[in-house]
Amino acid sequence: MDIDLLLARADDHAPALDGGLPQGAASCAAAPRAAAEPASFADFSDDPNDLLVQRWGIVAPEGPAGDRLLDLVAPLRAAREAAQGGAPARIYRAPRGLDAAAAARWKRAVYRDESVPDDELPRYLLVLGDLDDVSLDLQQALASDLFVGRLACATDAGYAAYVEKVRVWEARQCEARARALFFGVRDGTTATAAGHRALIAPSVARCRAQMERGAFKADAVHELAFDAGLAAKDGLLTEASRAEPAMLFTMSHGLGPPRGGFRTADERRALQGAMSLGAGVRLAADDIAGARFLPGGVWFLLACYGGGTPSSSAYRPWLARLRDAGGFGGRVDAVLAGLAPPGSPPFVAALARTALESPEGPLAVIAHVDLAWTYAFQDQGFDRRDRPSRFQGLFRSLIAGARVGAAHQELVRFAGEAALELAAIDDDAARDPPDAARSLHRASLWMLRQDLAGYVVLGDPAVRLPVPP
């Protein structure tokens, strides 16, 4: 297995890292962050989908900007308070720019305030604002054991449209089950080929087998097979324009900078994270703006930067060490050149944001921030095997009508497992220096944890597919 990357250049759509990197490249990965938090302290012995028990709250930025966002989502807040028996939604205000260490401290001091009874702590948290309003590090720290989503719209009208869309769909009485749709771009690159072989094809087979046993509650399971280019774009837009809600999983390269870089910051925000459909064709925000695209559905968008771009990539130090080692033929230079300079403003991807703002769009998007690798479904190190099962619980939960935040935890929990194993390896290393094989396994676990932690929920984590109870 190679380490493959789902990133393409925005000008010619060529893979930024064609052919991937050999497994040994992971040995240059950085050490994990110190004091990784265990995966879960929360008590989910009760129904995780019951807001009366689990509660719902908001994390908004401090200051007037946060006040404005709270006003914009007031109707959604009222609906959630009604769902939790009239109990008021807890509102948290977060300062800008919290890094990982500061986010962990904020979570302990503010969210886990000892004066608040544990049963009144909201397990569902809606983060308001873009990644420079409330940091990605805080969202990821909260999502380690809570059900967290982010709503970041370009305009006040976008927030109002999303809130109204959720209200309308939650008032409907749906009698049909949702379709499960799987789409992988067939562009002939190693990363998308690995994704189809190791994730899409086995996931479709598992969903169909579970459906026959009554364990996968879908109306139908379809793999969308379109040729690359315009056929893929037209076919995907046609399937997504159907009125019936669906769960849509897509895998493609996400667009990064062209060879000469983006001309302006606005162009970067508009195109970075858009889907490369092969043959120079893309699916970007302007292709779905104002159109019907997965109404009332949930979209799992797997691509580099599909969910957004952080201020600095977590993979920059590792890639720089690979480049300096000189053993990879300069293949990482294109990836490094496309990373945002440290300190650049982070942002939610325009494609996912536009889908949520659309009245005829999905209720939630699960997508990847930063670079998206094949680690999430392909183990390296000691256990070199495909792991499509990591995604199966999420698919099964979504299609059964679980709230998106709860379904998301079916995937994120594996990041917690990797963190715990990393801590165990570090404890062993303190007593017995690791050999080369164990060091490589440790580095592979670091990559796995980073890749899995990059999946985030965009939209209210309490929404669900509108299917029969």
**Digit-coded pLDDT (tens) for 150-208:** 999 999 999 999 999 999 999 997 889 999 999 999 999 999 999 999 999 999 999 99
Q: How many residues does the chain have?
A: 469
What is the domain count for the chain? Answer: 2
CATH number of the domain to which 338 belongs = 3.40.50
In a domain, residue 86? The reply is: yes
| Cα distance from N-terminal residue to C-terminal residue, the chain | 42
In this structure, the answer to whether residues 249 and 281 fall within a common structural domain is yes
Furthest C-alpha separation in the chain: 61
In a domain, residue 303? The reply is: yes
Query: What does the pLDDT read at residue 30?
Result: 58
User: Which residues in the chain show pLDDT less than 50?
Assistant: 32-43
Range of the domain at 109: 51-171
Query: What does the pLDDT read at residue 101?
Result: 96
In this structure, the answer to whether residues 231 and 191 fall within a common structural domain is yes
Residue at a domain's end among 105, 139, 171: 171
In this structure, the answer to whether residues 106 and 223 fall within a common structural domain is no
Nearest Cα residue to 406 out of 335, 461, 340: 461
In a domain, residue 224? The reply is: yes
Residue at a domain's end among 145, 171, 197: 171
Q: What is the dihedral of CA 118, 122, 123, 127, to 10 degrees?
A: -140
Q: Report DSSP state, residue 117.
A: -
DSSP string across 349-397: -HHHHHHHHSTTS-SEEEEEBS--BSGGGB--TT--SB-THHHHHHHHH
pTM of the model as a whole: 0.93
In this structure, the answer to whether residues 255 and 107 fall within a common structural domain is no
In this structure, the answer to whether residues 217 and 339 fall within a common structural domain is yes
pLDDT tens profile 297-332: 999 999 999 999 999 898 888 788 777 776 565 678
Query: What does the pLDDT read at residue 365?
Result: 98
In this structure, the answer to whether residues 234 and 325 fall within a common structural domain is yes
Query: What does the pLDDT read at residue 1?
Result: 59
Query: What does the pLDDT read at residue 39?
Result: 39
Query: What does the pLDDT read at residue 381?
Result: 58
In a domain, residue 463? The reply is: no
In a domain, residue 319? The reply is: yes
- Sorted by sequence, the CB contacts under 8 Å of residue 131 that are 6+ apart come out as 152, 308, 309, 310, 311, 346, 347, 348, 369
Residue at a domain's end among 171, 194, 213: 171
